[in-house]
Amino acid sequence: MKAFNDLADFSTEEIQGLLELANRLDERPEPEALKGKVLSLLFLSPSLRTLASFQAAMTRLGGGSFVISPDMSIHGLETRPGIVMDGTAAEHIREAVPVIASYGDAIGIRAFAERKNLENDMAENEFNALTQLIPDTPYINMESAMGHPCQNLADWKTLDDYSIPANGGKFVLSWAYHPKALPLAVPASTLYTAARRGMDVTVLRPEGFELPDAVMQKAKEAAASAGGAVVETDDRAEAMEGAHVIYAKSWSSTRHYGDRLADQKLREGHLDWCVDEPWFANAQDDCRFMHCLPVRRGVVVSEPVLDGPRSIVIHEARNRMLAQMAVLHQMLGATT
Amino acid sequence: MKAFNDLADFSTEEIQGLLELANRLDERPEPEALKGKVLSLLFLSPSLRTLASFQAAMTRLGGGSFVISPDMSIHGLETRPGIVMDGTAAEHIREAVPVIASYGDAIGIRAFAERKNLENDMAENEFNALTQLIPDTPYINMESAMGHPCQNLADWKTLDDYSIPANGGKFVLSWAYHPKALPLAVPASTLYTAARRGMDVTVLRPEGFELPDAVMQKAKEAAASAGGAVVETDDRAEAMEGAHVIYAKSWSSTRHYGDRLADQKLREGHLDWCVDEPWFANAQDDCRFMHCLPVRRGVVVSEPVLDGPRSIVIHEARNRMLAQMAVLHQMLGATT
Amino acid sequence: MKAFNDLADFSTEEIQGLLELANRLDERPEPEALKGKVLSLLFLSPSLRTLASFQAAMTRLGGGSFVISPDMSIHGLETRPGIVMDGTAAEHIREAVPVIASYGDAIGIRAFAERKNLENDMAENEFNALTQLIPDTPYINMESAMGHPCQNLADWKTLDDYSIPANGGKFVLSWAYHPKALPLAVPASTLYTAARRGMDVTVLRPEGFELPDAVMQKAKEAAASAGGAVVETDDRAEAMEGAHVIYAKSWSSTRHYGDRLADQKLREGHLDWCVDEPWFANAQDDCRFMHCLPVRRGVVVSEPVLDGPRSIVIHEARNRMLAQMAVLHQMLGATT
């Protein structure tokens, strides 16, 4: 495995192989599998679960990791191409990335979307510019402009763990209010993941927050192959009818992408998009609540839902570690 | 061992077992004892010894650790219960703590006292709120409002290492001047530890800096069981007479707890409470100087004492690592 | 090995032994060599390669490390001797350094030159004050005022890896423009290293940027023993004639050392000292470009040179890890 960048790069058998490996490593630890192996971790964007779970994953497999992020006492990092570096930044990512990669057997990179121009973010121009600097080392996408495959694999495992049906299971991906315009990485890749798993997926969002056409199209094709379906609506009752799981997440307005004020004006008309118990009126009785975290209490989801039996967010977060252990185990060629 | 929170939770045999294990691990390393095991480290308060010694301890036993603290590039942490999170903080400790715990085989948590209300701090309301968020993972108190058991165990070992008598040994816990109002965790738990070890303990402090009644009472009961005694005084010569060890530490005024200005006014009347060679005039010849560090030179203790043969503070600090290795070894079920 | 502080402390056989060990560890990993061993890493100055490569090195050998730097949430560090600590800093390096050292089997320390007074920096007063605080633990110089032995050993390996001749090879150490007055550690120790390897070394620099006499003298003596030579010039064409490698680096004016404005005025007369392709007109066809990184693109070196086939800076940076693995392997007494 030279890269773990997008679940779309893997066959369903490969994905299921990773999920089985994740379960096996949870039940039967392999503390010598990656003995002496190093994972380089480059965080150009903030993190908690990813930061902690990758370090824990490497330790559990007998290896180790190191973290570099711009908030450390390093030399300021320049990212702009072709620049004369006579300002504050003393190091260019054109050196920093290959050097950091060269110390590891694999490198994980996190770089959120710029959220200025939708086409640019959809093209993954920034993330691709980073990975193109790595000549030989396998890399892991720890969240880019449009992708978050480690979260996706953990979410797939979570759906399996709770025996939520693949074919015939109803998955609602719901927009929620949040004071900031957040990236599309989680909603776009989560939609694909649920469709790829063969579920009946409904994207529930207010007008102006439609997911990009290419994102919808990619998910619909995955659903068609896997025996599921993808629809979208702004009607909450329709969306939630018979739902097995609601996955809440806020994201930027695609109508006003990169226009902070217009986005803010539009989203502030939807303060009531906070997932609460009445949303579940016509869902399955045991309909679950998922979220990638961090989540704003009382804003994205009510406290009773988040703290109640529907919520499986802590289990979901722990699965990050297990999913990543499986990826690292395969990528770094553990012998078992 | 489900928690290492307070020496009072352990029998004397258990404490001595930990101390023997610490010595054994120092003499005969066990670099595979905790192979593949992970310690989660959550620092809500600053640290140097604790931060370094826990990481070193896990490595020496063949495992590893990761560190999360709010000064990292994580999402801002909200700690207030029941709040609508529409401000700056994007993550609540109600998710962060169980998630971080779930990546480890044990979790260490450091959260200093708020120092606003003595009853609140004495009740450990903040620390208990954190540990109640951890469903199954064993936890280690890396300093709470009133406790610092890792320091206590290291100090007990230090007293043993220097052959300072348990029964019959005289231990002076002395207040010292410091420009800030510091927490009660070290003085309160150190007093208990020396009493529990069976020593004759004198609390030496100016008026207004008495330790809380409950703290004194707990120590007196421990002393009674262990064959020692606890007294307090503001008379330096009386306190130091025949002393085997003086343990210096500054702490907040309990009379003006949470009232910064009144505390400051009171403490500034005691600038001369800087441990210096003349203090030792009627002590044992080889009376030792201990301090948990960090210590302010020329403020809490004079340079000649701190740099002289009485001072055992570096040995004491190294014992933090060894004491914690013993705790981790037992808590994480090392097979030997 | 009690210290790795200066290549001058080692015989040529010892240096070659380290280089052979570095190659061997690259080809045949030893993931159990330093099982359970701990490297303490104290960064009083910023870092990227050193920070990452030492952590990776310890993991590859089966041990681990921890990092302390003042930008972490530790207690502020006081460095001035004999001070009454009634200000902001709560911890003195006189305690912090021996404590941090006591948790490791070795300690690495980085502390850049103060760049106020040349004699003071040449005498390594600050670095020596730090290492004198470490009673027993072996230490590694991770860059001091005048030394950077880990970089030097990595550079020697890089010259070997590219089959650049030792005797008869021409090595140009060239000053380059940079907006700031940088330390002398890399140029001084690189000059010594190339001379010690037996090369014909030319120091190319504008007037006012001569290296100190003692630095030149030390290098000349090394060259004399090793069969090489050391000259200096401000004539670019003369320096580059027949060169096998140019090692670029900016450094402070020694004429105006510690006088920021005079230094700046002098250096700004040399904005054209940016290594560019025309510099190589009369060099060897395959003349290489080296730099310790970080390097300012378009300021110290042109993009075409840095991104072109002459540049071996990424290979050079990776050699940091391998060179340090050899040092750690010997220092920590790995059994193989």
**Residue of chain B minimizing CA distance to A67:** B66
Q: Which residues of A touch C294 (CB under 8 A)?
A: 75, 90-92, 95-96
Query: Of residues C333 and C108, which shows the higher confidence score?
Result: C108
ipTM of the complex: 0.97
Tell which CATH architecture fits domain C3-148+319-331. 3-Layer(aba) Sandwich (3.40)
Q: Answer for the pair C164, C202: CB distance below 8 angstroms, yes or no.
A: no
Q: Strand pairing of A229-233 and A200-204?
A: parallel
A118-148: pLDDT as tens digits = 999 999 999 999 999 998 999 999 999 999 9
Residues of C in contact with B313 (CB under 8 A): 95
As a whole number, mean pLDDT of residues B319-328 equals: 98
Mean pLDDT over residues B244-268, rounded? 97
**pLDDT band at A71, cuts 50/70/90?**
confident
Q: Which residue of A has its CA nearest to B79?
A: A297
**Interchain pair A56, B98: CB under 8 A:** no
Supply the pLDDT for residue B335.
62
**Rounded mean pLDDT, A286-290:** 98
CB contacts < 8 A (B, C): 107
pLDDT of residue A60: 98
Cα–Cα distance measured from residue C204 to residue B13, given in angstroms and rounded to the nearest whole number: 71
Q: Is A38 on the interface with B (CB under 8 A)?
A: no
Predicted confidence band at C336 (pLDDT cuts at 50, 70, 90)?
Answer: low
Instruction: Retrieve residue C51's tokens.
Output: 């920070």
> Does position B60 have pLDDT exceeding 80, yes or no?
yes
The pLDDT tens digits for C131-170 are 999 989 999 999 999 999 999 999 999 999 999 999 999 9
Residue C239: pLDDT over 90: yes
CA atoms within 13 A on the CB side of B197: 27
Q: Say if the Cβ atoms of A85 and C317 lie within 8 Å.
A: no
The C-alpha atoms of residue A79 and residue A76 are separated, in whole angstroms, by: 10
Q: What angle do CA B247, C99, B50 make, to 5 degrees?
A: 80
- Kindly report the nearest CA distance between residue C228 and chain A, in angstroms: 32
Which runs of consecutive H residues, i.e. helices, occur in chain C?
12-27, 49-60, 93-102, 118-122, 125-131, 149-161, 185-196, 213-226, 236-240, 260-267, 303-307, 313-331
Q: Looking at chain B from residue 251 to 270, which residues have their Cβ under 8 Å from any Cβ of chain C? A: none
What percent of chain C shows pLDDT beyond 90? Answer: 95
For the segment C302-318, the average pLDDT, to the nearest whole number, is 98
pTM recorded for the entire structure: 0.97
Q: Collect all residues of chain C within an 8 Å Cβ-Cβ radius of residue B71.
A: 72-73
Is residue C335 predicted with pLDDT exceeding 80? Answer: no
Domain B3-148+320-331 and domain B163-311, same fold? Reply is: yes
pLDDT, chain B, mean: 96
C163-311, what's its fold? Rossmann fold (3.40.50)
Subunits with 3+ Cβ pairs within 8 Å of A are B, C
Q: Which of A322-336, B17-31, B319-333, C119-133 shows the lowest per-residue confidence on average (mean pLDDT)?
A: A322-336
What pLDDT, on a 0 to 100 scale, did the predictor assign at position B34?
98
pLDDT in tens, C25-73: 999 999 999 999 999 999 999 999 999 999 999 999 999 999 999 888 7
Residue-wise pLDDT for A146-185, tens only, equals 999 999 999 999 999 999 999 999 999 999 999 999 999 9
- Taking the domains of chain A in order of start, what are their residue ranges? 3-148+319-331, 163-311
In Å, what is the CA distance from B270 to each residue of B206, B209, B266, C22?
A: 8, 11, 8, 59
Contact criterion met (CB < 8 Å) for B314 and C63: no
Q: For C281, which DSSP code?
A: T
C-alpha–C-alpha distance, residues B192 and B195, integer Å:
5
Beta-carbon separation of C297 and A98 below 8 A: no
Please indicate if any CB of chain A lies within 8 Å of the CB of C83. Answer: no
Query: Helix (H, G, I), strand (E, B), or coil: what is residue A109?
Result: strand
What pLDDT does A97 receive? 97
Check pLDDT > 90 for residue B75.
Answer: no
Residues of B in contact with C91 (CB under 8 A): 48, 293-295
b/e code C210-241 from CB counts within 10 Å (16+ = b): bbbeebbebbbebbeebebbbebebebeebbe
pLDDT in tens, C258-295: 999 999 999 999 999 999 999 999 999 999 999 999 99
Quick one: pLDDT at residue B336? 52
Nearest-CA distance C78 → chain A (Å): 18
Tell me which residue in A56, A298, A313 faces B104 most closely, judged by beta carbons.
Answer: A56
Residue A224 to residue C42: CA distance in whole angstroms: 56
Q: Which residues of A touch B40 (CB under 8 A)?
A: 52, 56
Q: Could you tell me if B145 and B1 are in contact, meaning their C-beta atoms sit under 8 angstroms apart?
A: no
Cis? peptide before A294, omega within 30° of 0: yes
Contact between B48 and C86 using a beta-carbon 8 Å cutoff: no
Contact of A95 with A120, CB cutoff 8 Å? no
Measured between CB atoms, which of A38, A85, A103 is closest to C297? A85
- Both tokens of A101, joined, read 């990669």
Average pLDDT of chain A, as a whole number: 96
Residue A333 has pLDDT above 90, yes or no: no
User: In CATH, which superfamily holds the domain spanning B3-148+320-331?
Assistant: Aspartate/ornithine carbamoyltransferase (3.40.50.1370)
Reported as a single tens digit per residue, the pLDDT across A209-226 is 999 999 999 999 999 999
- Band of the pLDDT at A335, cuts 50, 70, 90? low
> In chain C, whose CA is at the least distance from the CA of A102?
C318
